Amino acid sequence: MGASLSNLTENGTGNGGPGLGDIPESCVACVFLYLTPPEICNLARLNRAFRGAASSDAVWEAKLPSNYHLLLHLLSHPDVVWVDRFTGRVCMSISAKAMAITGIEDRRYWNWVPTEESRFNVVAYLQQIWWFEVDGVVKFPFPPDIYTLSFRIHLGRFSKRLGRRVSNFDHTHGWEIKPVRFEFSTSDGQQASHECFLDDIHQDDANGSYKRGCWIEYKVGEFIVSKSDPETEVRFSMKQIDCTHSKGGLCVDSVSIIPLMLLISIGAWRISSRLFLLSFSDILLPYLAYRSMSGEHDAVTCLFILERFYQLDSLS
């Protein structure tokens, strides 16, 4: 059967008739324009014509964002920009090294800890401080889309012992007393803010604290980039500046800016004081607002969002 399939794809139907191998590469390339990169790579294994079409620059040029030359230029920066391999949407992650952290120069307060759990291979670890403030700014020509900004942080210091991951909470304190305020603003006037307690040690006595010892993405909000924006500046911060008590035992990894539609496919999202799936308002309402502002009304996309929401809801 394998031989018959090989004959079909390379030489025709097996009886001397035309087959997939006889389709011109230009026609195959036109079809590839409507497929995702993983689908193109899979089909490239069928025969030489498909493999040749999959090697066409025109096919891959259409899959890349229009500013991909700038993305290549940014590879050496403390910000990581990547393209989702299925949708071609642009994502960004900003390292703690690129942020302004109060007291970062003083080793009594902060230390840089190497780790494989960060895409930047290093995180900022807070031992103890009274004035906690982390600020950052990024200026980038984001493609038109609706984006979500979040902080990636970890309560406790983690390490490996005898091949196993362990967390130490000796310095972890103060985060259950007052909430931390997350906020951002964009150059065109969009703003979002969010407050929450980072430690819930007193809120879940029966099951223990489930916010300690794991990386959590704290969502701040969404912002919209329209087609008329050549470059967008985003200022973000995380602070708890009540000096009546100290706080410590916290790792700061990065800030992520990811298109909202990609988060739908990711599914679960850590936010506020508990882990839950994206809600109806988190997914549909911001996206519909974006579509209305851009003058577009894509019913098919909206139906997809609804379908995805109910799929996620059924998993909870």
pLDDT tens readout for residues 98-146? 999 999 999 999 999 999 999 899 999 999 999 999 999 999 889 889 9
Average pLDDT of the chain is 77
- Asked whether residue 17 is assigned to any structural domain, the reply reads yes
Do 80 and 185 lie in one domain? The reply is: yes
Same domain assignment for residues 101 and 50: no
- 142 within a domain of the structure (yes/no): yes
What whole-number distance in Å separates Cα of residue 106 and Cα of residue 45? 56
Regions of the chain short of the pLDDT cut 70: 1-18, 21, 65-79, 201-210, 228, 265-316
Nearest Cα to Cα of residue 192 among 164, 163, 220: 220
Give me the CATH number covering residue 159: 2.60.120.260
Gap between the Cα atoms of 192 and 184, Å rounded: 6
Residue type, position 47, single letter: N
Residues 83 and 163 in one domain: yes
Q: Is residue 203 part of a domain?
A: yes
In a domain, 189, yes or no: yes
- Tracing tokens 């590839």 back to the chain, one arrives at 32
For residue 266, being part of any structural domain is answered with no
Q: Is 164 part of any domain?
A: yes
Query: Within this chain, do residues 113 and 211 fall inside the same structural domain, yes or no?
Result: yes
User: Within this chain, do residues 118 and 55 fall inside the same structural domain, yes or no?
Assistant: no
Say how far apart CA 177 and CA 26 lie, in whole Å.
65
Determine the structural domain holding residue 164 and report its residue range: 72-260
What's the total number of domains in the chain?
2
Out of 244, 260, 276, a domain closes at 260
Which tokens go with 11?
A: 């030489």
Distance CA 313, CA 316 (A): 5
Residues 113 and 229 in one domain: yes
Domain boundary among 235, 260, 285: 260
- pTM listed for this prediction: 0.66
Of 210, 228, 260, the one marking the end of a domain is 260
